[in-house]
Amino acid sequence: MNTFRNTYGKRLLLVFMVVVTAFALFGCGNNKITSVEEARLSYSSYHSGGTVYEFVPEGDKIRICCYEDVYTEDGFVQELKKSALVDTEKFIEHMNYCKVYRWDGFSGNAWGVMDGTSFTFTATVNEGDSIYAHGYMKFPKDYHEFLRGVNDMLDEAEETT
C-alpha cells in the first residue's frame, strides 16, 4: 500500500510538472498583440453581399478602410464606404480586449445553414506572427465585440465617406 502511494504521488507530481512546463513554454492564453503590420476582416452573406475591413499602419496611426459590395449593371464592385485614421495604441488595446490573438486557428461551420454569414480574418502582428481564422455562422469569442468596436472607431474618427 505504501508503494502505491509513493508511485501515485510521483505520477501526480510528474503530471503537475508537465502542465507547468507547458504553460511556461506555450503560455496560458495571455498572449498580447504589441504591434500590427497588417490585418483584414471580410464577411459576406448571400442576402447582404460582402464587407471588407482593411487595417493598415500609417506612422503612429492605423487606417481602417471599410469597403462594401455595390451591385452595378456589370456585376458588383467593392466601394469604399468609410475610412479613418485611429490611434494605433487604441486599436491594439481593442484587439487585446477582444483576445484576437486567440482567434488563430479558429475554423467554425454551422452545418445545415444554407444562407448564413461567412467570415475570414487574417493579420500579421508582433513583427511576424500570423493570425488566421474563418468560419460560416460560427465565430470566435468576442468577434462581434471586435466588429462593433471597429465600427465605433470608424464612426468616431470618420474622415471620408
Q: How many Å apart are CA 56 and CA 61, to the nearest integer?
A: 9
Q: How many Å apart are CA 49 and CA 12, to the nearest integer?
A: 54
CA atoms within a 13 Å half-sphere pointing along the CA-CB vector of 148 = 6
**Pick from 102, 114, 85, 108: nearest CA to 146:** 102
Question: How much is the mean pLDDT over the chain?
Answer: 85
1 pLDDT higher than 60: no
pLDDT of residue 121: 98
pLDDT classification of 15: cutoffs 50, 70, 90? low
pLDDT one-digit tens code per residue, 90-120:
999 999 999 999 999 999 998 888 788 999 9
pLDDT classification of 70: cutoffs 50, 70, 90? confident
Copy the grid coordinates of residue 59.
Answer: 506612422
- On whether the pTM is more than 0.75, the answer is yes
Q: Residue 27 in 3-state DSSP?
A: coil
